Amino acid sequence: MRALSAVLILSVSLWACSNDEDGSSSSVQDAMVDTTTGDTALADVAQSDPNTPTLKPPAEDEGFQLSMDVVAPAGTEIWICEVYPMPLKGGANINRVKMQQTPGTHHLTLSTLGLLGGGQLEYGRYDCNDLYGDDSLMENQVMFYGNQGDAEHEMLLPEGIAATFPGQLDIIHEVHYVNATLEDVNVFSRVNAYLMPPEDFVEGIWGGQVRDEFIEIPAASEHSEWTRCVMNRDVEVLFLASHMHGRGKLFTIAPFDGENVGEIMYENDDWHVPKITQYQEPITVPKGEGFEWACTWKNNDDYPVTYGSESSDEMCNLSIVFTPFDTTALCEVVESSDGVLWSP
Q: Tell me: the pLDDT tens digits for 108-134? A: 989 887 665 666 789 999 998 888 777
Are 11-204 and 210-336 equal in CATH topology? yes
Q: What is the pLDDT of residue 175?
A: 95
One of 3.90.1520.10, 1.20.140.10, 2.40.40.20, 2.60.120.310 is the CATH number of 11-204, namely 2.60.120.310
Report the Cα–Cα distance between both ends of the chain, in Å, rounded: 11
Q: What confidence score (pLDDT) does residue 189 get? A: 95
Query: How many CA atoms lie less than 13 Å away from 89 in the CB half-sphere?
Result: 2
* Entry pTM: 0.70
Q: Which fold has domain 210-336?
A: Jelly Rolls (2.60.120)
Task: Give the separation between CA 115 and CA 93, rounded to whole angstroms.
Answer: 14
What are the backbone angles phi and psi of residue 233, rounded to the nearest 5°? -160, 165
Q: What is the pLDDT of residues 17-51, one digit of tens each?
A: 333 334 443 333 332 333 333 333 333 333 444 57
CA dihedral 127, 131, 132, 138 (to 10 degrees): -150
Among residues 93, 116, 284, 287, which one has the least CA distance to residue 203?
Answer: 93
Look at residue 174 in the predicted model and tell me its pLDDT: 94
Residue 287 has what pLDDT? 98
Which residues touch 38 (CB under 8 Å, ≥6 apart)?
Answer: 70, 71, 73
Long-range contacts of 337-344 (CB under 8 A, 24+ apart): 337/224, 337/225, 337/226, 337/227, 337/294, 338/214, 338/216, 338/225, 340/214, 342/210, 342/211, 342/212, 342/213, 342/214, 342/227, 344/3, 344/4, 344/208
Residue spans per domain, the chain: 11-204, 210-336
Does a cis peptide bond (omega within 30 degrees of 0) precede residue 324? yes
Distance CA 338, CA 266 (A): 22
Inter-residue contact 132 to 2 (CB < 8 Å) = yes
Residue 10: which of 123, 162, 115 has the closest Cα? 162
Predicted local distance difference test score (pLDDT) of residue 18: 32
Residues near 134 by Cβ (< 8 Å), separated by ≥ 6?
A: none
Which segments of the chain have a pLDDT < 50?
1-49
Instruction: Give residue 42's pLDDT.
Output: 36
Burial of 122 (0-12, 13-18, 19+ CB in 10 A): exposed
pLDDT of residue 19: 35
